[in-house]
Amino acid sequence: PEDGLMVHPVWWGQQMGRWPDGLGPFEKIFAELRAINTLHERAFGQALFRSSERPDDFGWILRPSQHEFDHFIHELDKLLSENLRHDAFDLHDVPRKDDQGNNIGTINRLDRLLEMRGSSADARIEVLEPLREVRRARQRPAHALRKNVTDKSFVRKQADLLERIGLTLEQLRHFFQSHPANTDWE
């Protein structure tokens, strides 16, 4: 405890017979993705994310190494920013290209959607920063040679990032839940 480390909930369940209350961070993410898709489909006739299913190799890193963490980041980015449907943003008339004619990525299109619906710049920055952080972290290994170092802090970084991503998805769910077509949704 003095190092800020916590025992993993699975260990508590398997070794001590104590089971955690509520959803774990991975299940929370997929529950939020499913809810966002349902809300978006109810309001606009199409899901926002292509898939809300958990990939087979998406879970806790078992070896706290740079390679394992990079793989986790790669999968998380595919699950979030690459999983957003461009045609769903077309339903909202969010432009595909910027003023210079460059393609706009999905996170930036989501930012523009939130802006078009009245979200403040500060709120958008707060909500979308974890998604942008994942995107930046994914691009680092693609553009540099890296040593496969082992560091116990990778597990804590993963847990912290999952918590922030869960909160981001929760806030996006609240945004889509406020649409008039979703007032009766529970």
Per-residue pLDDT of the chain (186 residues; tens, 9 = 90+): 677 777 776 676 767 666 666 678 999 999 999 999 999 999 999 999 999 999 988 999 988 999 999 999 999 999 999 999 999 999 999 999 999 999 999 999 999 999 999 999 999 999 999 999 999 998 876 666 678 888 888 999 999 999 999 999 999 999 999 999 999 998
Contacts with 52 (C-beta within 8 Å, 6 or more apart), sequence order = 30, 33, 34, 37
Q: What phi and psi values does residue 43 have, to the nearest 5 degrees?
A: -85, -35
Separation of alpha carbons 127 and 109, rounded Å: 14
Separation of alpha carbons 66 and 68, rounded Å: 6
3-class DSSP state for residue 25? helix
